[in-house]
Amino acid sequence: MKEKLIEIIKEAGEILKDGYFSKKDVTFKAKKDLVTKYDVAVENFLKESFAKEFSDFNVIAEESDNTNKTFSNSIIVDPIDGTTNFVNKLPHTAISVGVYVNKKPYIGIVYNPILDELYTAVVGEGAYCNGEKIETSDEKDFQKALLSTGFPYSSGTCEDDLNDVIKKIKYILPRCQDIRRLGAASLDLCLVARGVYEGYYEMNLKAWDVSAGLIILQEAGGKVSNLDGNEYVLFENKYIVASNGFIHEELIKNLNI
């Protein structure tokens, strides 16, 4: 299944890439949440291809109506993760595809066609970037940890969420190496998987933002949890916390101030 998925996702990557270098009209789904015709085109291509090749799976995808779709055996798709980057020609944008069997992680694929970086993982078989094995960093000192986060779209309208973002950054920033905000959750998780970041956290993400990246990170030796340090449950938890494992406890502690 992995090889067929890669073939389809690489083809979809050409649609993303064409759009990236073209002039685009932007529609606002919400104050901070953008969509273009390319998000829809990539999604439709993936949905049609997956329906043909993997008819036992439900496809759950960001730009579609997902009511009445069950999660059990599903392919969870973010056609363009990092649409704001895509629109502004910032080359951190990716197609994210996570496959779940009986609600359990099976395959994660994240493809950035602009940088031609393909992250893949099958549960139990390790994680790879362009075919080379990747592993999380072995940094144990929180003060030396480079972290990444994201700002929720709700920060434009919900003062509680905005205050929570600021409060956490104010506490954590002096205690770590630095904090980045790259703008594509799937790639943030892959960058922890690759040992670039030691940790990552964000609130209000959707299943398609993280369904693939969390598989890739866990297969690279990293850890994913909710804000309590317990198992992160797709579609349920407000916060995702991810790390190389070594700094996880301290990251959780610092996020719970």
We find the least distance from the C-beta atom of residue 25 to ligand IPD, in angstroms, to be 17
To the question of whether residue 209 is assigned a binding role by annotation, the answer is: yes
Query: Residue 121 in contact with residue 159, Cβ under 8 Å?
Result: no
One-letter amino acid identity for 194?
Answer: R
Long-range contacts (CB closer than 8 Å, 24 or more residues apart) made by 53-62? 53/4, 53/8, 54/1, 54/4, 57/99, 60/207, 60/208, 61/208, 62/206, 62/208
Q: Which stretch binds ligand IPD (CB under 6 A): 48-56, 114-122, 163-171, 201-209?
A: 201-209
Task: List 183's β-bridge partners, or say none.
Answer: none
> What's the CA gap between 198 and 203, in Å, rounded?
18
Closer CB to ligand IPD, residue 78 or residue 219? 78
We find the least distance from the C-beta atom of residue 239 to ligand IPD, in angstroms, to be 12
Report the 10 Å Cβ neighbour count for 208. Answer: 25
- What are the backbone angles phi and psi of residue 188, rounded to the nearest 5°? -55, -45
To the question of whether residue 202 is assigned a binding role by annotation, the answer is: no
| 180 binding ligand IPD? (CB under 6 A) | no
Which of ligand IPD, Ca ion, none does residue 54 bind to, with CB < 5 to 8 Å depending on kind? none
We find the least distance from the C-beta atom of residue 206 to Ca ion, in angstroms, to be 7
Binding residues for Ca ion (CB under 5 A): 33, 62, 78, 80-81, 209
| 150 binding ligand IPD? (CB under 6 A) | yes
Summarize the annotated binding site for Mg(2+) as residue ranges. 62, 78, 80-81, 209
Residues in the site for ligand IPD, rule: CB under 6 A?
33, 78, 81-84, 150, 152-153, 183-185, 202, 205, 209
